[in-house]
Every structure is written in structure tokens, then in C-alpha cells.
Amino acid sequence: MKYTRLGNTELTVSRLVLGCEQLGGTDWGAYDKESVKAAVNCAVDMGVTTFDVADVYGLGHAEEILAESLGPRRKDMVIVTKFGVNWRGDDRGGRARTFLDATPKHVREALEASLRRLKLDCIPLYLVHWPDPATPVEDTIAALTDCRDKGLIRYFGVSNFATGLVREAGAAGDISALELQYNLLDRRPDESQLDYASKSGLGVLAYGVLAQGMLTGKYGPDAVFGSDDRRHRLPHFSPENREKISGLLSRLRDMSEQYGKSQAQIAINWVLGNSTITGAIVGSKTVQQVTDNVGALDWVMPAEDYAWLSDSCTEARLIA
């Protein structure tokens, strides 16, 4: 495992971060609690020290399962959790009504609930999951600053914020990290956003690194997903968009054979090849997936392949 400092903080994070949305048991198809718990423990055994979760994943269930899986070791890990998507009840289909809520009142309520579920006294890194248009960002940041000053969180930051809003948040308080989606098919963060993060000393955590599994090569053109798997509605899994990215996927297969690396390892390695990216968040349901993903860190991609993949994003990003 490789480690680095998260921006200008005193947190040391593993460059591979275990994404924990799948611990919530919803939206990603078949769920086996013992399998995902084993994946968490395998990640720790292989040197992963950083775990990314959110209160809305499984409506709190993911945080509870993460705490249960880690046991006493959770206090030695860098746990990143997020708030800002509130919910009310469940309807008869088992789905809650969710809505954006980054009000100061909800900051405190959500934080107290996450601390209880994670069985922690202080959360290492607390992020605003999505911007709330109805709440001034300076009000949210002021509430987070107050929670930090009270010792309930160590550092805070933002997730899924556009460049201008990141700047507003940074002007309102000491944000320490930015989380965003970044992969070979989706480079929504533009150069100005990454440049701002670098110059401001923000740690940058990238999620969706495998494009929800598309870049692993596991899903062919005939793959079908059930209604309990969000991939059935994601644009890059549509037949027409799979055709558009067939050239990229073919190159990944060729590189996989050439270098003896899985396509997932190549995709993760490419993300971490960007010096602005601090850590790559990758979800895993099984021990095998964790083991494979960790293997992305032990090699250096040849410069010509890195450049080709980077150039390929110009076309691929149009479908995201």
C-alpha cells in the first residue's frame, strides 16, 4: 500500500480508499453482508487505512456495518463520511424520500447521528455530500467550523461542488478536501477546479474511478441489470454509449494482456497518475475485488499508454 498526506492536513491516507456505499445494501444488486464485511477486513489487512462512506448510504446502514466490520480498529482509521442528503421515512417500495439539506440545524443533527452509528467521538473528515441551493454555503461552513472547534470533527470539506462553489466554500472557512467523480469516462472536474484544489492545498478524493464497473471489462454489450441495481439507468451503460466507448475498452483489454494487469488496475492506476488526486475511492463487495484493486498500486504505467488513455477521454467524456 502507498500513503500520502491529505492536502494541507495532518491526516495520512492510503492512496486506495475503500468506498463503502455497497455496505448500505441498496442500489448495487445482490448484497451479502458477510461478504462485504470480509472485504472491509481484507482491505485493512492489505494496508487500506481510509474508508469513504455517507449517512445516506442505506439510510445509515452503511455507517453501522462499517463500524461493525472494523470493530476497535475504526479509531485508527481515516473515516470519511458525508452529510447533506436528508431523508424522510420509507414508502411501500422500501425507498425513502430524499432531499438536499445542508442547513446548520441539519449539520448538527446529521453529525450526531453519524458519530453514533460509527461509534466515534470525532470524525476525521466530514464532507458536504452535495451542495444545497437553498442554504448559503457560508452558513453551512460556519456550522461545520463550530463542530470542528467543539472537537466533533477534525477536518471538513465538500463533495460534488462546482468550481465557483468550491471557491465560495474556501472563502467561508478552512475546507481541507474536495471529493469528485473522476475516471476515464467522466472528467467533469475541469482544469481550473483541480488547479484551485492544488493551489489551495486541498486533498482531492476521486470516486467512480471504475465508472461503476464499466471499466473493469466485466459487463459486455448484452449485460442486463435489475431494478435494484442503479446501473440500469446510468447513461454509460446504455447500448449506444457502450458502442461509443468500445475503442477505449478494447485498448484497456490489450493493455491488460500486455502488462498482466486487470482492466480495473489500469483504470485505477490512470486516476492516481494525476498528481492532484490524493486518493482513489473504489467500492468492493468481495475479498477478491479488494485484492485486485490493491494491485493497481505496485506498477508504473508507461508514459505513452497514460497519454493515450488521457487523450481518449476527450471523446469518452461526452457520454457522461
pLDDT in tens, 128-187: 999 999 999 999 999 999 999 999 999 999 999 999 999 999 999 999 999 999 998 876
pLDDT in tens, 175-216: 999 999 999 887 655 677 888 999 999 999 999 999 877 888
pLDDT higher than 90, residue 18: yes
Contact between 203 and 6 under an 8 Å Cβ cutoff? The reply is yes
For the chain, the average pLDDT equals: 89
Structure confidence at residue 92 as a pLDDT band (50, 70, 90):
very low
pLDDT in tens, 21-33: 989 876 655 678 8
User: 121 vs 27, which has greater pLDDT?
Assistant: 121
Cα 258 to chain center, whole Å?
29
Is domain 3-216+263-300 in CATH 3.20.20.100, yes or no?
yes
pLDDT in tens, 219-230: 666 667 666 766
For helices 137-149 and 163-172, the axis angle rounded to 10 degrees is: 50
Domain chopping of the chain, boundaries:
3-216+263-300
Quick one: average pLDDT of 85-103? 79
pTM: 0.91
User: CA geometry: angle at 192 spanning 187 and 196, to 5°?
Assistant: 115
